[in-house]
Structure formats: structure tokens, C-alpha cells
Structure 1
């Protein structure tokens, strides 16, 4: 038998600084050879100036875990806040103490923030509907917890990945796939639904998948008859090639369930849904499962740039020199300015102390629940999701 391993870089390797680009190793070696250890201030930014396009910050907890125990001070915007230009994180200290960590740091922030931003757009598209994250199957399993945590930061109501739930201390949600119905066979849908009802615990909702062998109306009515009052809802996951007018299908299922006296049976939908779909269906569906529109989000294009060396402002061409601060105004604006300049009269500083001399600051809120609350509050303040995006 061949001895194969998963292509997963271990946490120990990431912490060691080995999960880096080769030129950072060579930079470190060169500075050591030249006996140079400059004191720098470096900032993590996406856009230098505000653009009017807000994004949602996530990944800060993992960034703190990476940078802790290094001889640096770090200030960061708390997770769950919206940002639009300027730094989301500032690192001060001996450059060689964190140079090798740049690649991993940017990956932690970029990927999580991209997913959280996409999930917040989904949340804004159906603000009053239950929405679950179903997209972990589209990413490498080593980052499933990143996907699900970022989705919860954005305000989604749940997720499907079991191990991710173990990692972030939240229970996964979900009922049945088409595979279960297929294993029982054509004409045996009732047996599958009833077996599921008998097998799972009372804490699991009875949501019957109703589009495997026959049309959605037929299977929904059969599921309602088979499970009776135990049935909480039906899920329609109709493949795109068979979907046609999905809105009409949902309305037809709802009509026939009501006509048969099953008004309490909810109708949930999933299957390749995006922001536009949720806007179009939120008045006829009772809830959604959204996958690739969240998990396949483009990472935020963060960069880390040195902006001061040994107390002197500096930058490469095209970047802004000097240490900066960012503020949220009472009207929801985003302001970027020199750290020593006068802040906006009503400006709230967004950067907070995260690490001091290698120790994570106790007062910095890295909790998932705190991030979720901040995301809801900040998104409302800045008008996040005001434009429809697919």
C-alpha cells in the first residue's frame, strides 16, 4: 500500500515562519549577515484611500495567534468591523522578528475577510431569512473552519461542516443529501424520510429533501404525508439544468402544501444560489443554504508595507509613507489620516491595541459573538450592501 499524506502545512510550520515566500528567508539571511535589525512600522492595507466600497474584516484571531510571542506591538481593527482604505493592522518592532511571517499573515487576513465580505452581502440580500453556509465542500478541508467562522462573523445563522464546528465550538446544521434518497431507491422516498426521522436526535430538524426522483410538488406532498406533524420543512435543491423558473416552483410547492393543510411546513432552498437569487426569492422561500457564493469569494488583496524605519517615514513608490490612523465617523464615513494629524471631530478610532511586546491584550475582543455583533452594527452604519452584487 502506498504511503500518502495530505498536502496540509501544519500549524507548527506556519508558526515557525517556514510558511513564507523564499525571498523573505533570503531577506532575513541578508539582514543577519549585514548585522542590520531595523525597527520598523509596517501596515496591512488593501486600498490606500477610501473608495466607497466597504469590506468586512475577519481573520484577526488567527493573525493574533501568529504574531503572539514575537517582540512586536500590534494594533488592529477588531474583527467584524467594516473598512475602506488605510491600515487594518499596524506592526511595530524589529523587522527580522516578523519578516518571515508576512506571507502567512496576509493569507490569514485576506482569505477570511474575502469570505466574510461575501457572506455579509448574502446576509444583506435576505436580512430576515435563515441562511446557512453550505460552501465548505468547495475549499480545502484544512480551512473549513475559516469559512464557517467568517460566515458567522458576517451574520449567517449556521453552517454545515462538522469538524469546523468542533474547532469554533458551534454545532453544525444539516439534514440529508440526495445520496440518502438514492441509497433507498426510486419509489422508496417515504422509507428514506421515515428512516431519517427515526435515526436522528430530537435536536435535528426534520427537513426532507424533495426533488430527487420526481418533481418538487409531488415529493413535498409525499414527505408531508409520510412524516405528518414531525415534518418541519422541505428543501428544494433542484439542479440548474432542471430548475426552470425556480421562483414559480417554490410558489407552486407552497400553494399545494397549503392546499393540503400543511401550512406549517417551511420551504427551504439551496443549490448554486447567489446574492441576486436571495433578493429574488426571499419573499417566497423560508430559508436558504448558500455555498460557493460565500466559500469561493475572492480574497481581499491585502499587502503589508513598511511605512517607517527607525522613526523616519518611508514608503516604496505608489504607497503612502508614515504611520496612519483610521476612523469611523458618526455618519458612517471612513477616514484615513496621519497618526499625528487632527482626527475628525466625530471620529471613532478603529485601530486598537492587540499585542504589546508579544502578549495579546486581554481587552481586545477576539470573540466570535463580539465580531458578529460588530458586523451587524457597522454594516448598518456604513450602508453595506447598498448595491446588488452577484
Structure 2
């Protein structure tokens, strides 16, 4: 029904670039299958421009069950150069899997990085991922997992919640208000209040027809114990959005609704989060996460049959990556570890078996600690 490559095709290596099929045909025909060390990298040397590593659970499941040993960073760790994954084994064990492997890691790491930037800007404010509408539905769970790893407090996609065993967040769209018609906003807000599950926060969308300040006060009067209002005004109508938000806060306070919180969404960027944070209690962020350009990972052979081998522009030989203080050190794998160095490449698969567990909360905590340690996108 849909343009979706099946999980079976991914696992079998059919979800690949055609030249890997040609490579297998050539190597099989020539009777060659070298033992190789391959590395996944974005930058060869540390650059100081940190990103967040994500997508590792899918990558591990892709490589598991094959005669391989794999080491990798932990989910949520920050990196700025050197390998994030090392694969050892006969090349034809995984040749056709390169396309899918990088496809698991590249967008996931980008989404986590975009989410971390938002979470850093939001500080103690609530930040939710609203970006699933910008990606193919088959990748929504990967997006939302990466958003959580990056530090978002929740997400809106119901199907992703089913996969990740997390409840999706969300209240009402403009469509609900429009369904009741202009002038009948109170009916829409009350219908939501009367019929939404009890554990769903009572947050009214208050910018559909009238001025934001007017609708916000009307909603607070219409719904007893309203938790908050959400402003999702399109960019073409906002003008000075900071001024609008401050005016809504003033009007709610003046009308006796100081406990009604304000949430904003719609084209929110990290810069907007920093600007609005003093006046806003929560943010819904979509494209600033989902549209983060994929991390430009590549997979390259660096050793063949025990000897250094790499193409031009790549560093030959297996490498180790260490964190020393707030920076990274990349060096040959056989070199002694630097003083006080923490090795970042840890076993992921041994003899084809996955040897680590994956926990979103642990990864998010690791990401937050790493981000603070290196001053990620510090304001």
C-alpha cells in the first residue's frame, strides 16, 4: 500500500545501493572475501563541533547474528571526530548492509542533535517534539526516540508511542475549533474538557479566529481549572511574537488567571526558545528537530587482512577515541591510552551477539551530562 521498504529487505541486505551487489558478485567470482576493519566516521579529527550519537539500537539489530565484532559509542554520547563505530569481520558478512547502517545512524544522530539544542535552550521549560509530520511515517518512532535521547520531554506521535512504550502528548488542533465555527470557540474548548481523558492536560488553543489575548482570557473563563493556553499563530500573522506572548501573560494575570500557563508552537527554533523562555512554560518544536541535516557519516575499510588500508582522504588503520576532560583524542588503536582518558568505543556485538542494553532514559541522561561537560551550544 505504501512506499516502504520492508524490514525483511533491510535485514537481508536488499535495502542497499546497487554497487554493493556488484561488489559481492565480483568478490564471489574472484574467490575473495578479505577480513577487514571498517569504521564509521563523520570527521577524521576532533573539530569541537559536537553532535549526538543515536540510532545505535537499530544498527545493532541490523548487524547481530553475523560473524562480526562491533564496538561503538554509547547512545546519547557526544562526538566531534574520529570513529563512532568499528566493525571487524569478513567483508561479505556485511557488505550490503552499509546503506541501511548509515541510514539508521545519520538521521537519528541529526535529530538527537537538533533536540539537544532545543533542550539546552529550553532549560527548565517543557519541550515536546512535534516533528513527526515532517518525516516519512515509517521513521516516526526513530525520530521520537532520538528526540527523547536529545533531551525532549515528550512527543506527539501516537504510533511512535506504541513502539517506544511511551504515551504521546497533545491536546487540540485548530481543526477542532474550526469544526465548531467562528464565535463558538467556547463550545470547542468545553467539548475538549468534557471528553478528553482525565490525565490529559487542559490546554486550549487560543489563536484560531480572534486576537490571542482575547481568546486566551475567554478560554480561561470557559473551562474551569484550565491548565494552559497554546499559541500556534502562523509566522505570517505573528508580528512581534514576543510582544504577543507577553501581552497574553499580562491579560491572563489581569483577569485573575495567573496560574494558567502559556505554551507556544509553530516554527519554533532554538533562538525563539531562548527569546521566549522568560514568558513561556512550554514549547512544541517540529521542524527545528526533524529538518536537522543528516549527519554525514561514511563507512570505510581501514584495515585489510591485518594491514593498514584506507582510501585517500581517510586515516589508515584501526583507531581508538578517548575523552580527556572536555575534549576528544583520536589515535591508533595500538597506542597507549592517554592519561585520564576514557575510551568511548565500547563493545556492542561480540561473535554476532549484542552485548549491551539500550535504555532511552539512560541515553538521555548520558547526553545531558555530556552536553554540559563540553558546553554544547552554550548560550
The normalised TM-score by structure 2 is: 0.99
- Kindly state the Cα deviation for residue 128 of structure 1 after the two structures are TM-superposed: 1.3
Aligned 8 A contact 1:78 1:365 in 2: no
Unaligned runs of 5+ in 2: none
> Is residue 346 from structure 1 mapped to residue 340 from structure 2 by the alignment?
yes
Counterpart of 2:12 in structure 1 is 16
- Kindly state the Cα deviation for residue 366 of structure 1 after the two structures are TM-superposed: 1.6
Secondary structure at the counterpart of residue 384 of structure 1: coil
The CA deviation string for residues 84-137 of structure 1, in whole angstroms up to 9 with x for no partner, is 111000000010000000000001000100110111111111111100000100
- Correspondent of 1:285 among 261, 276, 280: 280
Q: 2: distance between equivalents of 1:385 and 1:107?
A: 25
- Kindly state the Cα deviation for residue 247 of structure 1 after the two structures are TM-superposed: 0.5
Q: 2: distance between equivalents of 1:242 and 1:37?
A: 62
Q: 2: distance between equivalents of 1:158 and 1:265?
A: 21
Give the count of matched residue pairs.
379
Secondary structure at the counterpart of residue 228 of structure 1: coil
Q: 1: distance between equivalents of 2:347 and 2:336?
A: 20
Q: 1: distance between equivalents of 2:275 and 2:33?
A: 57
Q: 2: distance between equivalents of 1:142 and 1:9?
A: 9
- Correspondent of 1:217 among 201, 213, 220: 213
> Is residue 335 from structure 1 mapped to residue 329 from structure 2 by the alignment?
yes
- Correspondent of 1:378 among 363, 370, 376: 370
- Kindly state the Cα deviation for residue 152 of structure 1 after the two structures are TM-superposed: 0.1
Q: 2: distance between equivalents of 1:37 and 1:127?
A: 51
Q: 1: distance between equivalents of 2:305 and 2:216?
A: 69
Aligned 8 A contact 1:72 1:355 in 2: yes
The CA deviation string for residues 236-269 of structure 1, in whole angstroms up to 9 with x for no partner, is 0011111011111111110111111101100000
Superposition pairs of residues 291-306 of structure 1, within 5 angstroms = 291-306=286-301
Aligned 8 A contact 1:268 1:286 in 2: yes
Aligned 8 A contact 1:24 1:99 in 2: yes
Q: 2: distance between equivalents of 1:257 and 1:187?
A: 20
Aligned 8 A contact 1:268 1:285 in 2: yes
Counterpart of 1:137 in structure 2 is 133
Counterpart of 1:239 in structure 2 is 234
Superposition pairs of residues 1-390 of structure 1, within 5 angstroms = 5-229=1-225, 231-329=226-324, 331-361=325-355, 364-386=356-378
Ranges of 4+ aligned residues in structure 1 off by more than 3 Å? none
Q: 2: distance between equivalents of 1:370 and 1:29?
A: 42
Unaligned runs of 5+ in 1: none
The CA deviation string for residues 205-263 of structure 1, in whole angstroms up to 9 with x for no partner, is 0000000010101100110000122x100000011111011111111110111111101
- Kindly state the Cα deviation for residue 386 of structure 1 after the two structures are TM-superposed: 2.6
